[in-house]
């Protein structure tokens, strides 16, 4: 039983999921790097939490300079791919089109298992026992992937909830300010009309 638990933690730890919150200033670009082996499965999930129109430019570049993914003025997205060569892969968030508004970006960089490690983990033992171990490993991998997916969805739901709450609070504030402005204008018009009528009748009495 102990080897099952250790195997579970080994597989869970082999799937690297890093969550970040960063602030990208106006006219700025923030880049991050992941060095992986050929064939490693990778992914980028991002959501704009605050700033401007909640959009940003995204780009993923391979070690050879090849652009794997590029998007402009995106609010959120999910993109997965397999490393076509060994080296450092670059994830960039650009806010260069914004004149003065910084953007807060939440993103996850998912890095799967090294294919060489997966191949090395399959040997040893009798055929029946090996098959059982392989099935168990596959089940644990699926479970760990599902757990990370649930974790990511919870994080993004929290970001969306905070974003929508900020929009609602901003809308309510504008409604209150506009109502106060309308009440002020109405009060000024009422006072002006009273003053005008008072002056009008005073002039008629003098005549």
Spatial neighbors of 95 by CB under 8 A, at least 6 apart, are: 24, 25, 26, 27, 28, 29, 56, 57, 102, 103
Helix, strand, coil % over all residues of the chain, rounded to 5: 50, 30, 20
Domain ranges of the chain: 17-114, 130-206
pLDDT score, position 121: 52
pLDDT score, position 6: 43
Note if the pTM is more than 0.85: no
pLDDT score, position 194: 87
Given a contact cutoff of 8 angstroms between Cβ atoms, the answer to whether 79 and 69 are in contact is yes
Q: Which CATH superfamily is domain 17-114 in?
A: GOLD domain (2.60.120.680)
* Nearest-angstrom CA–CA distance, 51 and 57: 13
pLDDT score, position 133: 74
Given a contact cutoff of 8 angstroms between Cβ atoms, the answer to whether 134 and 142 are in contact is no
Within a 13 Å sphere around the CA of 138, how many CA atoms are in the beta-carbon half? 7
Among 36, 48, 31, smallest CA distance to 82 is for 36
Given a contact cutoff of 8 angstroms between Cβ atoms, the answer to whether 30 and 103 are in contact is no
Q: What is the pLDDT along the chain (207 residues), one digit of tens a residue?
A: 444 444 444 444 444 445 678 889 988 999 998 899 888 888 888 888 888 888 899 999 999 999 999 999 898 888 888 899 999 999 999 998 877 889 888 888 888 776 665 555 555 445 666 777 777 777 777 777 677 667 767 776 776 777 778 778 888 888 999 999 999 999 999 998 888 888 777 755 545
* Nearest-angstrom CA–CA distance, 75 and 49: 9
pLDDT score, position 68: 92
């Amino acid at each position: 039983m102990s080897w099952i638990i250790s195997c579970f933690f080994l597989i869970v730890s082999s799937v690297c999921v890093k969550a970040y919150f960063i602030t990208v200033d106006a006219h700025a670009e923030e880049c991050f790097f992941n060095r992986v082996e050929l064939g490693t499965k990778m992914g980028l999930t991002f959501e704009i939490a605050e700033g401007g129109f909640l959009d940003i430019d995204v780009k993923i570049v391979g070690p050879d300079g090849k652009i794997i993914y590029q998007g402009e003025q995106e609010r959120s997205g999910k993109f997965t791919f397999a490393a076509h060569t060994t080296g450092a892969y670059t994830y960039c968030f650009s806010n260069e089109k914004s004149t003065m508004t910084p953007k807060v970006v939440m993103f996850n960089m998912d890095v799967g298992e090294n294919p060489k490690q997966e191949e090395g983990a399959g040997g040893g033992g009798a055929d029946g026992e090996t098959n059982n171990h392989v099935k168990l490993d596959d089940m644990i991998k699926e479970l760990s992937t599902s757990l990370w997916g649930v974790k990511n969805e919870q994080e993004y739901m929290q970001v969306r909830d905070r974003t929508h709450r900020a929009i609602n609070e901003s809308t309510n504030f504008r409604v209150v300010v506009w109502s106060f402005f309308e009440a002020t204008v109405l009060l000024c018009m009422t006072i002006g009309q009273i003053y005008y009528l008072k002056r009008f009748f005073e002039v008629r009495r003098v005549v």
